Chain A
């Protein structure tokens, strides 16, 4: 039985539809991520699960109870769904103990104290009870916000871009740390982010969203290696889509080389397709007869990311060990190594 079930939901502001025909289910203990460019509707979706946005269509069910539908929206305070906000939204007038204890006032003083201490130990901030939010660093505030949301043992925890105000170097580390805490507590959670590294570091399942619509609902591995649309292929990881022409049942002619692989359904001979080529698919080999001109390069430490151009203007990316130092304008020998071909029909 799924814990959370979204069925064909739609959300609109006036005539402007923000989320459309969106469905997904989540098992207890799973961590999901809603991933997409800014303005794609992912935050709106999250807020509708929390109860801050009403649905135009569809239903949201939690433990088989309908909490949102076209007719009714259960008030946020009655859902037992926790939320961690982008700016943490700690209560500045309360100390840490009272911030964490805010949502568990129904417990006895002793129970509350115990739960607070337990959570502070969990997030590694023992003895912070009497401090105030403004005395803490950003990372500490964030963990307090997490503890506060966890205190009432919510059915579901929502995290709205919780790492976006952190230093870039800290984000992945924090994301992994939060994942450890959530898994330890067996918390079901949904993370909203536009940063795929964060989503990869934290989520079991990722929903890639574009313009309010679900594009793909999959694990990080499959999103990278088996994207189901040109958008996902482009959005996840690096790579280019090159043109190809189907010449046989499983042969495609491209300006790079003839390729072997499964052709999309409904694609016959003579059909035009796009093929995903990742930077790690193009290997550097000085002996190769296949050459491409270097038009840009980006030093990344261990590797160079070269932008290459073929005679017909097709552009490629290639990740090459930085011992191999080549200048812009040089011809670089390349070989192709694609294990699994990702092909999209061009129509």
Chain B
């Protein structure tokens, strides 16, 4: 007797499975196109680049990564330990406000600090007024520099480390720390010998995420005049119009990214073995008093102050001072454009994610698993690289269709895809698909297969199982996935800059253009909008985090 799959018999692998694989490969197309350039023959521009700028790109990228590593690790680990294991004034408030800097894209924080610390900014002006200095009389750190970029990126990326480290600390069975005490170690010793090594995989995961963002950053380094791969790709593409060299640079950047992905995967797999216990006793936080409490308070306040409060206030000030000139019909058009784009991209990404995740669950086929994994590589790939990887095949397709139509019918179709919103939305989907896949997978994992079975045994058809069990359970998950992609699209800058249709503006692009024109104050209003929308998922995230630990009040 042939026993069919007991769970769902409706979709046959042939139709759904193949469709899933095709979609997954389509999503992987830009990365594959760029990847293929690793093996391409070189041209003169490439040789020129090799002789001149490439060494600078590489060394700058390394210095940037090194500096950001130091920044995010020190800020992230210290604040995570303090808020999870110690008790001091406003600890609960800090445990979620420490996430807020995540809402500010790096390029926007760069604009605000430039505004604050530049020669004409309020800080230097105040100093000059107070001491009667004039230009050249005094030294002041140059914010638009490599070290400035390191500080900016660290300030908004440390929450990745904070989040992962905090979860790891909270997840650690308190028993391992206590056992270390009974074996003769002081609390501080126990931290270095037990807690930190145990949290290391999680911390490395957070660090690799932060470094991926660092490599992907375009807005900050471009504005600060630090030459890295992303600015190089942009320049070769727009400045020299050399798509081949841009793609080769992208391929090189991609190899950096893959190293980080491997690091992240490896540390995640290690984390499994570093799980200590399923039993959670209530954490007894170490109560800090006096100067210790003050120190802990300050250590948590500084990242929030400089990573969120200060830049957000600057944006508010700019928005109000320029409101009369900026808040007009075109501004609302801008908001409309951005919301429209983000909504469409979020919808597309979530629908595809649902398809892929369900295919994974239903077929349990290694082939589908593998193609979904390839399709979700986009999260690590910088927007500039994806833009180049989207434009090249689209341009080829447009040209082919155009010449074929001209041959056959004598009419030119021009650019059908490249330079349209289709290209842009496709790029967003590629970039942020994994965000939605991760969310949907997590939601699906909560629906145990036994629930499907229970539903079937209680007389529900497969379709009714979907409608009566999965749909209600997945509603929240799908909304979360939509929101996450929505916000990411809203913040995205480089891909939008490269792929947007002529004269089509978004909030991010407007902020970028204003800043590039040295009209920082005018960048305030669009930037503030981005930050405000970006706050929504952060607040949801902080809620989820505070509820994540069983038995934790």
What total of A-B pairs shows CB separation below 8 Å? 77
Residues of A with C-beta under 8 A to B277? 87, 89
Binds B, one of A73-81, A240-248, A271-279: A73-81
A232 to B: closest C-beta gap in Å: 29
| A89:B173 contact, CB within 8 angstroms | yes
* Given A91-B194, A92-B198, A92-B275; A83-B184 close (CB under 8 Å): no
Classify the secondary structure of A's interface with B: loop
Residues of A with C-beta under 8 A to B186? 75, 77
| B179:A83 contact, CB within 8 angstroms | yes
Q: Of residues 157 to 209 in B, which have CB atoms within 8 Å of A's CB atoms? A: 173, 175-176, 178-186, 193-194, 197-198, 200
B276 sits at the interface (CB 8 A): yes
How large, as a class, is the contact surface on chain B?
A: 20 to 34
B139 sits at the interface (CB 8 A): no
| A93:B198 contact, CB within 8 angstroms | yes
A41 to B: closest C-beta gap in Å: 15
A322 to B: closest C-beta gap in Å: 38
Contact for A152 among B176, B184, B194, B198, CB less than 8 A: B184
Residues of B with C-beta under 8 A to A194? none
B274 sits at the interface (CB 8 A): yes
* Given A87-B175, A89-B178; A103-B183 close (CB under 8 Å): yes
Contact for A76 among B182, B273, B278, CB less than 8 A: B182
Number of interface residues of A (CB under 8 A): 31
* Given A85-B175, A89-B176, A92-B198; A80-B275 close (CB under 8 Å): no
| B273:A132 contact, CB within 8 angstroms | yes
Q: Of residues 253 to 268 in A, which have CB atoms within 8 Å of B's CB atoms? A: none
Q: CB-defined interface of A89-117 with B at 8 Å, one 1/0 digit per residue?
A: 11111000000001100100000000000
Residues of A with C-beta under 8 A to B275? 92
Residues of A with C-beta under 8 A to B176? 89-91
Residues of B with C-beta under 8 A to A82? 182-183
B14 to A: closest C-beta gap in Å: 40
Instruction: Specify the chain A residue showing the minimal Cβ separation from B184.
Output: A77
A233 sits at the interface (CB 8 A): no
Interface-central residue, B175, B185, B186, B194, by most chain A CB under 10 Å: B175
B519 sits at the interface (CB 8 A): no
A274, B186: Cα distance in complex, Å: 53
| B278:A91 contact, CB within 8 angstroms | no
| A77:B185 contact, CB within 8 angstroms | yes
Residues of A with C-beta under 8 A to B278? 87
A180 sits at the interface (CB 8 A): no
B279 sits at the interface (CB 8 A): yes
| New A-B contacts (15) at CB < 8 Å, excluding given A50-B178, A75-B181, A77-B184 | A50-B182, A52-B178, A77-B183, A78-B184, A82-B182, A83-B178, A85-B175, A89-B178, A89-B277, A91-B179, A91-B198, A92-B274, A93-B273, A148-B183, A149-B183
